[in-house]
Amino acid sequence: MRFKLIVVFVEDDKTELVLETAREYGATGATVITNARGEGTVRPRTFLGLSLETQRDVVLMLVEEHLSRTILEAVARAAAFDDTPGTGIAFQIDVEDAVGVRHQVEKLVPLIEGEI
């Protein structure tokens, strides 16, 4: 079984929405790294030297490759990444090897049997 790593940078108030959507489309788990900071094409505003940017989270999901594109697109739609600038981004990376995922594989096999 092959995997992809979906990386999502998202405003912290949309993290739960991203997690729920990903699970609904077949993700079996995620790691959330809180308090990330990002900068896009427009520099963050400041007031008296204090940053006014919203807090971001990084969501990492190791997903089966046949489900990855569907999960990626569903997360982008749910969080409105393409509709609202600065909301967040998501991308996927090929994973060459993964260990410690045996329990996920057992849950994924029935989901993807028809696709492999």
CA distance 72 to 7: 9
Reported confidence tier of residue 98, pLDDT bands at 50, 70, 90: confident
Q: What is the pLDDT of residues 23-54, one digit of tens each?
A: 999 998 999 999 887 666 666 566 665 555 67
pTM: 0.79
CA distance 8 to 31: 10
Which domains does the chain carry? Answer: 3-39+51-112 (3.30.70.120)
3-state SS record for 28-82: CCCEEEEEECCCCCCCCCEECCEECCCCEEEEEEEEEHHHHHHHHHHHHHHHCCC
